[in-house]
Amino acid sequence: MSATPHREPTVSPLDVEAVRRDFPALHQEVHGKPLVYLDNAASSLTPTPVLEAIEGFYTRDRANVHRGIHELSQRATAAYDATREVVARFLHAARPEEVVHVRGTTEAINLVAATWGPAHLGPGDEVVITQSEHHANIVPWQLLCERTGATLRAIPIDATGQWILEEARRLIGPRTKLVACGHVSNALGTINPVAEVIALAKAQGALVLLDGAQGAPHLPIDVQALGADFYCFSAHKLCGPTGAGVLWGRYELLEAMPPYQAGGDMIEQVTLERSTFQAPPLRFEAGTPNIAGVIGLGAALTYLEELGRERIAAYEEELHQYAAARLAEVDRLIPVGTAPAKVPVFSFTVDGAHPTDVGYLLDSQGIAVRTGHHCAQPVMAAFGLSATARASLAFYNTRDEVDRLVEALHKVIGWL
Ligand code: PMP
């Protein structure tokens, strides 16, 4: 019998043209030009299976969850609850009960600040963030520190947009109770060294919250291997609907946290004098939730799972390299954020032009990029800027679209 030949595991490449057929919004003209959508870090587009799942809820299973014994409510509840399992698989969470449905990353962070925060922080305690955070991972901690008398510290970034780890080692100490930091920077695309920072925090007995709004769309996530305590992301950056997102937390932590909002569905027993509360995750899901949004999130993660996260990552990496090389050819384009480890997010300025003007001129060519401070003013301040233009790619973008961006930039620069 001959030995079975050794084969390297291979992942068949992503069929991007087939993928693009799943995204109806891609197939339109803007200002008479075919749309090139490069604002995926702000919000991604929605594929047909997600649209169908949402429509299916509204047209067939339209009822409230967790309350009705009738068929429609049972179906809506089953679909809503099924998403928890899909999310748990997506994050490699230990159990679905660790997944709390919220409105998005912003609400997830605010939930932790409002519930875990006051019970654990007081004068002399410290919360550590970084200079590359989105405002959603800065302002809740500022307000919490003001309320509790704790102190907020920030790990600075260097000229390439990377956290300065010596500063992290200096700032994370025995007073640190929580480190809240982004997995990937939204303004620059830097993939942050979260493992190092988690190790520093754990050595001091501090908890770690990871803002995964930009990490979850691009990187494989294993919350158990990461060793984080909380992980947050938004559905709308992952091909899902707006108004839905996830707070994942280690179950023992969630269990020890008091309720967030109060009302229906989060209680066990209510008398006129006092109430007792459900176990997590329902303790944190007061009121009628965004049922269609949660069902849409489940469909989005299932869609990504079926395309293959590895296949998507390989395609994105190849497109990333191509775009980086093409953008480097553009004279007068100044990249902002040049860390070696990045997702395909390109922040830049154009010498001699305001980023807003660059954005308008690109839009006139059918090309959607984001301009402004990207809700990360401290990042802009680190670079001495008030704004950048940002092209952020997704797995349904193509080399042709990158070429269109580069051509349009040449044209814009010619007009200056
Ligand atoms: N954190 C990061 C890193 C983000 O990119 C965003 C969205 N731009 C948020 C938090 C806030 O997400 P949302 O607006 O969906 O709550």
Q: Ligand 1: distance of its center to the CA of 140 in Å?
A: 13
Average pLDDT, the chain: 96
> What is the best residue among 214, 347, 377 to mutate for testing ligand 1's pocket, by most ligand atoms within 8 Å of CB?
214
Instruction: Give the atom of ligand 1 at the shortest distance from the alpha carbon of 185.
Output: 3
pTM exceeds 0.75, yes or no: yes
- Report the CATH number of the 16-41+308-415 domain: 3.90.1150.10
Regarding the beta carbon of 372 and ligand 1, being less than 6 Å apart is answered no
Contact 149, 122 (CB under 8 A): yes
Q: Where are the domains of the chain?
A: 16-41+308-415, 51-306
Q: What is the pLDDT of residue 7?
A: 52
What is d(CA 332, CA 317) in angstroms, rounded to the nearest whole number? Answer: 25
Regarding the beta carbon of 379 and ligand 1, being less than 6 Å apart is answered no
Q: At what angle do helices 291-307 and 71-91 cross, to 10 degrees?
A: 50
> What is the best residue among 105, 130, 392 to mutate for testing ligand 1's pocket, by most ligand atoms within 8 Å of CB?
105
100 phi, psi to nearest 5 deg: -105, 125
Task: Identify the CA nearest to 236 among candidates 180, 290, 185, 296.
Answer: 296
**What confidence category does residue 141 fall into, taking pLDDT thresholds of 50, 70 and 90?**
very high
Regarding the beta carbon of 132 and ligand 1, being less than 6 Å apart is answered no
Q: What is the pLDDT of residue 1?
A: 38
As given in the structure block, the two tokens for residue 73 are: 């409510």
What is the average per-residue pLDDT within 117-139?
A: 98
Regarding the beta carbon of 211 and ligand 1, being less than 6 Å apart is answered yes
Contact 209, 178 (CB under 8 A): yes
Q: What is the pLDDT of residue 226?
A: 97
DSSP for residue 39 = B
Regarding the beta carbon of 344 and ligand 1, being less than 6 Å apart is answered no
Catalytic residue list contains 239: no
399 phi, psi to nearest 5 deg: -60, -40
Q: What is the pLDDT of residue 29?
A: 98
Instruction: Give the atom of ligand 1 at the shortest distance from the alpha carbon of 133.
Output: 3
Task: Identify the CA nearest to 199 among candidates 223, 179, 221, 220.
Answer: 179
Residue 231 has pLDDT above 60, yes or no: yes
Regarding the beta carbon of 110 and ligand 1, being less than 6 Å apart is answered no
**What confidence category does residue 67 fall into, taking pLDDT thresholds of 50, 70 and 90?**
confident
- Report the CATH number of the 51-306 domain: 3.40.640.10
E strand or H helix at 120: helix 105-120
Tens digits of per-residue pLDDT, 162-176? 999 999 999 999 999
Tens digits of per-residue pLDDT, 74-122? 999 999 999 999 999 999 999 999 999 999 999 999 999 999 999 999 9
Tens digits of per-residue pLDDT, 334-390? 999 999 999 999 999 999 999 999 999 999 999 999 999 999 999 999 999 999 999
